[in-house]
Structure 1
């Protein structure tokens, strides 16, 4: 992957609060992932009644219309979940059109997964091309990589972090094991794809400054013409990042899960929806818990790519809010010695217990049903027992 360490001209970015978009604009926030999307979606949904009093509508029926975005982009859902359909997208389109001449806002990071220009054109045309303004939020790759890796692990990934970084940054064509990563996070190409369809004048790029916690909220308020302070962050424990120990526990579980041939639907219900969700909701990471640490070589590579992306975006003619130089900053970290086990990387017993309880609670919620065994347990291999039990639990869960 080519790395250009040129520095973008930060003076080209707007630093003052942006002027509101024209009344009747349909603001389409496409992420991408790990750029503050969950925070802003939670704030918009929580304030939808208050926004309506100021002429701004949040038409989606939930915080995140993920199924609609996945449906129009012809993308599968999370591992083991039902594939979204065209109907999900059409329902959202109908709700947007029902807003009439009022300003509206739709946000989903999965719009960034649009596979081609035709899909982007279809999204914009369905929402109303002459009224759509696209908003893209960006963060430095150094902040995105550990968060995105642990999210992939939550969807079944079995590869360790450093090995994953090597594939993403050093092994051409940089698409294995997650081809979606650079589709989302080669941000210059993301902006270029959407600008090619909607025009540079209809795109605003926001560089998120993590040191300014309320900055993204204020930017949305300004663009939508809302009063200061109307959008507030909503605590969401279910969206917190996993610690290193939690992620490694889940990654090892993924290896066992795949090795025993269990169905993906079981993973969705028991692991992601049971164990992981309960663990996130009940366990708050301690100050001493090891976080996912990115090696220096990867931080430097990410900063070089960030500088190249910022330079290209600055030359596209789109409006840029925030400081593009943030995309190429190398974080100051003290790396652990090569090959050393991270301190505090072992998972606490209470955390493991909560994860196990979450899976058991989901399984226990399924009604029991007796079935005559074809053969006795001691006549069956342990691997086959695990597989059979998995399928039986899944059937019970489906009946609920």
Structure 2
């Protein structure tokens, strides 16, 4: 009876993998594998509960309380009472958990064989994806600012959040060796797995095949080419426009408390960034080639650390070579599309009646 905790990392194909797991629940159950369902959004809310991140995501603490326990109980019931062999729990919010949060998250699974799977992707694409996700969550930062304050400002793991320091968010979020170390430290040896996202141009099915191998699942149970939801990337102009809209939202929301601002930004993310803008997204920008000197040594060192710790690696080391800008690739920082009116967009999105209708559905 195995429980697989897929903890991310963020932006490493997690939406694709979770979509396949959810879309093939019946076939997986018939093969002895459960992707637990408690209610819509429970996996996310359980992960938020583990991290204590309710305010960040604009969620009511009373709603998420007890959700992680409920998800774990559903997995345990399937394994102990319904004859199942494997349960898979997956959400990228879990990746950054502190050692204490990890211990609390593992407590409901005591007595089961717990494995931890981390998915990782080259740091070139991750740098751009990290920046875009921060903008989707309300940031107004340019990529040049991110490069200065985060990408070229790593103070090392010892200064990270677990030590009470200020390691830049990018490095804490992308350090797959540290994530595996934190999550496997309370477990017996041999329970950690690193899945490398394939390089651009690889067959779409390859990520699923590597992930299934790490989970101990027959990959043939799932159709890896099935249509699933995606977390779309934005083009450079769309990111510039979203940053401008976020600035307008901040001004309109200054009278609300922190939770209200977070809720408003969540509306902008879901309705505008992942809806309107994603439908018209251009080619995603690439990180500057000069960042190779920073990104490549880091991923190489982390991979060496993972192997030295005895964790299983699913994929090829070359898949971690950073994908960076070449001639003709769009730069991250540019101007919004001509004729865009960020103030009008923000006012329309945050109109009181529209907000009431949107939040009433959630």
Sort the TM-score into its range (normalised by shorter chain). 0.7 to 0.9
**Match 1:95 to one of 57, 71, 74:** 74
Does residue 111 of the first structure (1) align with residue 94 of the second (2)?
Answer: yes
Structure 1, unmatched stretches of 5+, are 1-23, 368-395
Instruction: Give the deviation of 1:134 after TM superposition.
Output: 1.0
Alpha-carbon distance change, 366 to 184 in structure 1, aligned in 2, over 3 angstroms: closer
Partner of 1:380: none
Does residue 132 of the first structure (1) align with residue 121 of the second (2)?
Answer: no
Structure 2, unmatched stretches of 5+, are none
Structure 1 CA distance, aligned partners of 2:101 and 2:354? 42
Partner of 1:187: 176
Alpha-carbon distance change, 235 to 356 in structure 1, aligned in 2, over 3 angstroms: farther
SS in 2 for 1:142: helix
Q: Report the RMSD for the aligned CA atoms in angstroms.
A: 3.6
**Where do residues 1-400 of structure 1 align in structure 2 (5 Å cutoff)?**
24-61=1-38, 62=40, 65-83=43-61, 85-101=64-80, 102=84, 103-116=86-99, 118-171=100-153, 173=155, 179-210=168-199, 211-222=202-213, 223-226=215-218, 228=220, 230-232=222-224, 233-236=226-229, 239-259=231-251, 261-263=254-256, 264-274=258-268, 276-278=270-272, 280-282=274-276, 289=282, 291-329=284-322, 331=324, 333-334=326-327, 342=334, 345-347=335-337, 359=349, 363-364=353-354, 366=356
Deviations 1:233-272 (A, max 9, x none): 43325x2122222222221222233345143555555553
Which shows bigger deviation, 80-89 or 298-307? 80-89
Deviations 1:197-242 (A, max 9, x none): 22340111111114232112123444443351624343325x2122
SS in 2 for 1:65: helix
Q: Please, what TM-score do these two structures have when normalized by structure 2?
A: 0.80
Partner of 1:14: none
1:278 touches 1:354 (CA, 8 Å); kept in 2? no
Greater Rg over alpha carbons, structure: 1
1:27 touches 1:133 (CA, 8 Å); kept in 2? yes
Alpha-carbon distance change, 337 to 201 in structure 1, aligned in 2, over 3 angstroms: closer
2:4 touches 2:115 (CA, 8 Å); kept in 1? yes
SS in 2 for 1:201: coil
1:45 touches 1:63 (CA, 8 Å); kept in 2? no
Instruction: Give the deviation of 1:159 after TM superposition.
Output: 1.5
Give the paired residue count.
343
